[in-house]
Amino acid sequence: MRNDELKKSTADSFDLEPKYSNNEISGKCLKCLSEHELNSCLMLLLREEGIDKKIQRKYEALVKFLQSPESERLRIESEKYLAEGKQVSVKISMNKGRPKYDLIVK
């Protein structure tokens, strides 16, 4: 996600869309994509003069997601669907500090 897209996304809810890698397309698994988004948020927070609360909340949500046992289950499940040629996304939302994760198969 580009920096301007990161700033526009809502921190209370956002989607991660892992892609399956093949000879023609290089993709990222859910864990790699989450880590990439986490690093993008961190770089934005370090560059900003003031604190951007939306990016900070997204960063915190990604940290919680990566530390949760749910992330491993969702990674395995999403890779299964990707191998079948389906598109998936994981919706991460926060409600009163509590994370919620939904796997969406398209």
How many other C-beta atoms lie within 10 A of the C-beta of residue 69? 7
Q: How far is Cα 81 from Cα 103, in angstroms, rounded to an integer?
A: 10
- Condensed to tens digits (0 to 9), the pLDDT of residues 44-77 reads 998 877 788 889 989 999 999 999 999 999 999 9
- Name the residue ranges covered by the structural domains of the chain: 3-105
Proportion of the chain above pLDDT 70, given as a percent? 85
Q: How far is Cα 80 from Cα 96, in angstroms, rounded to an integer?
A: 31
Full-model pTM: 0.80
Q: How far is Cα 42 from Cα 48, in angstroms, rounded to an integer?
A: 10
